[in-house]
Structure 1
Amino acid sequence: MWIRLRLDIGWRDLCFGFCSSLLPGGRQVAHEKLEDLWSRSDKDALACLSVRSGFDLLLSALDLPTGSEVLFSAVTIPDMPLIARAHELIPVPVDLSGSDFQLDVTALRKAVTSKSKVLIVSHLFGARPEMQEILEVTREHGLYVVEDCAQAWCQPEWRGSKQADASLFSFGPIKTVTALGGALCRVSDPAILDRMRNRQAQEPVQPGKKLIFNICKFACLKVISTKPFFDIITALARRWGKSVDDVLGGLTRGFADENLLAQLRQQPSTGTLRLLRHRLQTYNARRIHQRIQHAQRIITWLGLEQSQPELLDPRHSFWLFPLLNNQPERLIANLEQQGFDSTQRGRLAVVPPPADRPELNCPHATHLLNLTVFLPCYPELTDAAVDAMCGLIIQLAQEETVYN
C-alpha cells in the first residue's frame, strides 16, 4: 500500500496517452483545446510542462528587480525557492500554523518588507485554507499573490481563488487526475499571461518519447504496487536495511536534480496536452469522494475533531491525510510491519531564512513537519482496511501512554 505507487490513472488512460503520443501533428490545436477547456470563457489559462515551469515563466514575465523578495509558505519543495534564486530573487519563508499548514497571518506581517514583491501560498495535502485575511495583508503591501495548488485540485470548476493573481495546478505523476506530467496556470493579468506565453513559445518542445517512457515506467509501477510484488519489495528493502521510499522513491520524481532549469524550460509535448485534456474530461469524481470518506472515517476513529479541527474543513480533499504524532518514526515502522503504507515529509522542506534575517526561521512549520505522518486514504482502500489501520494507531497510542 505504498502511497507513491497509488497512481491516479487507469490502464485505459495509459493506453490513450500512448496512442496520443504516436499520432503526428496537431500540437497547436491540442494546446488551444486544453486551455479553452480550463479557462472556459475567461481566456486566462496557460498549459505548461509543470508547476515549476509555470512558476519560472511567471517570474520571467514579472521581471522583478534583482534582490526583490519572494515570500513562500514555509513548507514547500526545495525547487521552488531554487527557481526564485535563479532569477536573482531572495526567498523568504513565512511560518505556518495548524495541521493543514496554513499561512500564519501574523508571521506574514512580520516577514514583509519594502523589498517584498510576491507571495507564494501553498495549499498542501488537499487542504484549501481561507485566503481572505492573507489577501487583505497583500493588498496593503502591493504583493503579487500566487497560489501553488499542486496538491489541491479536486473538482473541475475550482481553479483557485479568483482574488489571487495566479493559481498553479499540477497533473504530475503522483497527483490527482495525473496525466504523468503537465500543469495549468490561471493568470488574471492578460499582459503577464501574454509574456509567459511568448516566453514559453521560445522553449523547445519536450520529446514525445518522454511521455511514452513515463507511460511504460508507471505501467510497471502499477504492477509493482499490487500486494504480491509490493510484499516482495518490502522484504528486500528490509534485508538491505532500507525503506520502500529508499528503494522506489526516486522513480516517481518528475525531474532530476541535475540541470533542473533546463528540464523545466520546455513546452509540454502533444501527447501530454492530449492526455491531460482527456483526463480532465473523463475523470471520475467518485475517487475523490471515496478518498474524503476514508479521511472522515479516520478522523472519527482517532477522535481528531478537537486536536486537528482543520481537517473538518469541507473543502479539504485529502490528497494525503496528515496525522500529527509525537513518535512519527515509530508509528511509520509499526504500520509498515502490518502492511500499511505511511510516510513522512517526502520532498517537502522548510524554506531557510535569508542570512541577514535569521529570526524568520519558522519554528512552527519545522515542528509541524517533524510530527506529521501521512496516512493512506486512497480510494483502493476498503473500509475494513481503514478500520484496521486506525485500530493499530489507537493501540500504539495506548501502549505509549502505559509505557510513559
Structure 2
Amino acid sequence: MYPPKNFDIGWPDLAYGMAACGREGDADRWAAAVERRFAEGGGRAPGGVQAPDAVRATDGTDPLPAGEGGPAPCLSTLSVRSALDLALTAASLPPGSEVLMSAVTIPDMWRIVTAHGLVPVPVDLDAGTLLPTAEQWAAAATERTRAVVVAHLFGTRAPLDPPAELAARHGWLLIEDCAQAYSGPGFRGSPKADLSLFSFGPLKTATALGGAVAVVRNPGLLAAMRALHREWPVQTRGAQARRVAKYALLALLTTRPVYTGLVTATGVLGHDHASGLQNTVGAFAGTELMPAIRQRPGPALLDLLDRRLRAPDTARAVSERAEVARRLVARLPDPSLVYGAAAPVHTYWLCAVPTPDPEATTARLRSAGFDAARPTSLGAVPAPPDRPQGARTAAHLVRHAVCLPLRPTMSDRTLDRMAAVLDPEDWGTPR
C-alpha cells in the first residue's frame, strides 16, 4: 500500500535533529544563521565566504540583497502561522479592516486574521491556476480592504501581478503564502510581495519538522516584527525532542511495508487508519492556536532547519517528484482538469484531482494499493455575514478533491494501474 504522502526527511536528518536537542545553543545565533542561509540560497555557512551583492533565484523571481555582514531580509519563526501573526501585529491595521484571501487555505490562517479583529474575505479561485483572476480580486475589494493574503496551493506558482497592482495602488499589505510552493534555493518568492512565507513543517518539502522563514521586503515592517518576536518565549529543547520523536515514529509507520501492515490491522479492527494519522501529523494538532504559535523556534529546531537548507539535492528531488506527476497526469482521462494544470509552475507537492464521489474514489484506489487522501488540512475561507458566498470553485475543491499518492520510484506500469482506477465516466465534475 502506498501511503498518501511520505515525510520528506531521511533517517540521518532525524538522528541529527534528535542529537541537536541534547546540545546547548543560542537561539539568536542560530536564527541569524538560518536567515542568512535562506537569503543566500542555502550555500555555505554564514561567516564563511561572502555572498555576492544580490542572490538571484534561478528563475529570476527575487534577488535578495545579502549585504556586507548586515542582517538578512528574512525572519525565522516557529511556523508560517507565527509569521502571519507577527506581520498583522506589526502592521497594526485598523480594527474591522478587510483582508482579501485566496479562498482556499488552512483554517488557522483565517482564524489568525480574525483574532486580530480583522475580517477575512474569500476571493474565489480559478481551478487552472489555483489563484483568483484579476477580475475576482478587483470585485472583492472595498474601501475597507487593507491587506491581501495569497496562498500558492499544491506546489503551483503563478505571477502576483493582479493583487500586486491593486496593493501598490491602494497601499495594502501583500502577503504571499508559499508554504506548499518551496522548491529549493531557486525560489524566494515574488519581489512584488511585502512578505513571502515559507514553511518547513512536517509534511513540507525539505521538512525540518517545523520552522518557517519569512522574506520581508519592507525594512520597517521587518524591524517591527523582529522587535515583537524577541518578546516571545523560546521553544524548549524538550518540546523539540518530543516533536522529533513523534515524527520519527510516524516516518516509520508510513514506510510502505509497515504502512501496509498498519492498514491491514486497522481494517480488521474496524478503525479508520487514514483519519487517525491525519489527526496527528499537523504541527499544532490538539493545541490552543495563539499561545502555541507565539513562541520563537529553539536552537535545536533552527540547527535542523539550517541543515535542511544546506541539503544539495532538494531541487533535484522536487524535479523528480514533478516528473513522475506529469507522467501520471498524461495518463488521466482529462489532464486539464487536474487542479493547477494551467499554472505556469507546478511542482506537484500534491497531485489533486476532482471526482464526483471522493469517498468512492479513495475506496477504489485503496483497494488497488494506493492510499489516496482528501486535502483535509485545507478549508474554504468563510464569507463575512454581509457578503454573498461566491467562492464556488473553492467550495468544490474542498468537497471533491482527491490527492493521489506519488513516489519518484513509481514505474510506468504502476502509474498505468493507478490511472486505470480513476474511471473515465466519473472523471471530473462541473466547477
Shift in Å, 1:314: 5.5
Deviations 1:128-162 (A, max 9, x none): 02222232233333321111110000021211101
Match of residue 192 from structure 1: 221
Of the structure 1 ranges 282-291 and 59-68, higher mean CA displacement relative to structure 2 is found in 282-291
Relative to structure 1, is the Cα distance of residues 245 and 367 closer, same or farther in structure 2, using a 3 angstrom cutoff?
same
Q: Distance in 1 between matches of 2:85 and 2:280?
A: 24
Matched residue count: 397
Could you tell me which runs of 5 or more consecutive residues in structure 1 were left unpaired when the two chains were aligned.
Answer: none
Relative to structure 1, is the Cα distance of residues 399 and 271 closer, same or farther in structure 2, using a 3 angstrom cutoff?
closer
- 2:401 paired residue among 372, 388, 393: 372
Match of residue 329 from structure 1: 359
Match of residue 56 from structure 2: none
Match of residue 14 from structure 2: 14
1:183 and 2:184 equivalent?
no
| TM-score, with structure 1 as normaliser | 0.93
Deviations 1:348-368 (A, max 9, x none): 1111111111x1441121123
1:292 and 2:322 equivalent?
yes
Q: Distance in 1 between matches of 2:11 and 2:94?
A: 48
Shift in Å, 1:388: 1.8
Deviations 1:96-145 (A, max 9, x none): 11144212322221211111111000000000022222322333333211
Once the two structures are superposed, the pairs formed by residues 42-191 of structure 1 within 5 Å of their partners are 42=66, 43-191=72-220
Shift in Å, 1:305: 4.3
Match of residue 33 from structure 1: 33
User: Is the contact made by 1:58 and 1:196 (CA closer than 8 Å) also made in structure 2?
Assistant: yes
SS of 2:369's partner is coil
Of the structure 1 ranges 205-214 and 262-271, higher mean CA displacement relative to structure 2 is found in 205-214
User: Is the contact made by 2:235 and 2:296 (CA closer than 8 Å) also made in structure 1?
Assistant: yes
Corresponding letter in the other structure for 2:347: S
- 2:231 paired residue among 184, 194, 202: 202
Relative to structure 1, is the Cα distance of residues 225 and 323 closer, same or farther in structure 2, using a 3 angstrom cutoff?
same
Shift in Å, 1:180: 0.3
Q: Distance in 1 between matches of 2:258 and 2:341?
A: 33
Match of residue 3 from structure 1: 4
| TM-score, with structure 2 as normaliser | 0.87
Relative to structure 1, is the Cα distance of residues 229 and 309 closer, same or farther in structure 2, using a 3 angstrom cutoff?
closer
Relative to structure 1, is the Cα distance of residues 114 and 231 closer, same or farther in structure 2, using a 3 angstrom cutoff?
same
User: Is the contact made by 2:157 and 2:344 (CA closer than 8 Å) also made in structure 1?
Assistant: no
Shift in Å, 1:303: 4.8
Once the two structures are superposed, the pairs formed by residues 202-281 of structure 1 within 5 Å of their partners are 202-281=231-310
Relative to structure 1, is the Cα distance of residues 398 and 304 closer, same or farther in structure 2, using a 3 angstrom cutoff?
closer
Q: Distance in 2 between matches of 1:381 and 1:52?
A: 34
SS of 2:148's partner is strand
Could you tell me which runs of 5 or more consecutive residues in structure 2 were left unpaired when the two chains were aligned.
Answer: 41-64, 67-71
SS of 2:99's partner is strand
Q: Distance in 2 between matches of 1:150 and 1:203?
A: 22
Instruction: Report the aligned-residue RMSD.
Output: 2.0
Relative to structure 1, is the Cα distance of residues 213 and 380 closer, same or farther in structure 2, using a 3 angstrom cutoff?
farther
- 1:339 paired residue among 351, 359, 369: 369
Relative to structure 1, is the Cα distance of residues 75 and 310 closer, same or farther in structure 2, using a 3 angstrom cutoff?
closer
User: Is the contact made by 1:294 and 1:383 (CA closer than 8 Å) also made in structure 2?
Assistant: no
SS of 1:302's partner is coil
Deviations 1:177-200 (A, max 9, x none): 000000000011111101111101
Relative to structure 1, is the Cα distance of residues 16 and 28 closer, same or farther in structure 2, using a 3 angstrom cutoff?
same
User: Is the contact made by 2:103 and 2:380 (CA closer than 8 Å) also made in structure 1?
Assistant: yes
User: Is the contact made by 1:206 and 1:267 (CA closer than 8 Å) also made in structure 2?
Assistant: yes
Match of residue 45 from structure 2: none
User: Is the contact made by 2:353 and 2:402 (CA closer than 8 Å) also made in structure 1?
Assistant: yes
Match of residue 356 from structure 1: 386
